[in-house]
Amino acid sequence: MRRTALGALTGVIALVAVLLVLWPRGVEAQPQTAESTRYRFVLTPSSTKSGSTTLDLMITDLAGNAARGDVTVEPAMPRMGHALAPITAAPVEPGHYRVGDVGLFMAGQWEITVSLSAERVVIPLLLT
């Protein structure tokens, strides 16, 4: 009886270990922060997979107040020497901008240049 229980326990432990190792983990897109002299830019991609992506942008000044103005996003892929045409980000609410359907068509290192008036930051984005 004791032996059966021990066997069952071993089996359960082994199963849990296998599940822990093999459980598929999605790569959660993390917000990326960059600061210029006046603003703080936080970029959150909808996914870290290549393909069509939505970029979410929170832009505040360094005191934390929502920024206003026209925001442009320029994606480029340095390894391919390839730049996409600049896209104007649509404001959702003050300080919150969104760019939908950005064709980041290839896996690898991308650089997203975000500009608001004269302030420009480059945010690296690694797609798998």
Partner 1 sequence: MKRTAAILLVVLGAVLGTTGPAAADGAHVGGDLHVAQSLGDRDLTVIIRRVAQVPGPVHVDVVTHAGSPAGEVTLTARAAGAPTSSAKVVLGATPGFYAGVVHVDRAGPWELSVDEASIPFVIPARVSSPWENATYGGFIAAGVLLFLALLAAVLGRPGLALVPTTGVVVAMAVAATAALLSPVIPPVAPPGAHLDPTFDNVMNPYERTPVMDFSRPPVNLVPRVDGHDLVLDLTDGSSGRPVDDLLLHDNAFVHLVVVSPTGGLRHLHPVRTAPGEYRVRLKDPERGTHAVAAEIARRGGGVQLLRSSVDVTGNAAVGAHDDVAELVTEVREAGRPTTITAKFGERDLQPWLGMLGHMIVVGPVTDGPVSAPIWAHVHSMIPPRPGVPDQPDESVAAYGPDVPFTYSFPLPGRYLVWIQVERDYQVRTVPAVVDVPAPAGGETK
Residues near partner 1, by CB under 8 A: 21-22, 74, 80-86, 105-106, 118
- Nearer Cβ to partner 1, position 95 or 104? 104
- DSSP for 28-73? PPPPEEEE-SSEEEEEEES-SSSEEEEEEEEEEETTSPBP-S-EEE
Q: How far is the CB of 118 from partner 1 (least distance, A)?
A: 6
- Nearer Cβ to partner 1, position 11 or 31? 11
Q: How far is the CB of 85 from partner 1 (least distance, A)?
A: 4
Q: How far is the CB of 29 from partner 1 (least distance, A)?
A: 20
Cβ atoms 55, 98 nearer than 8 A: yes
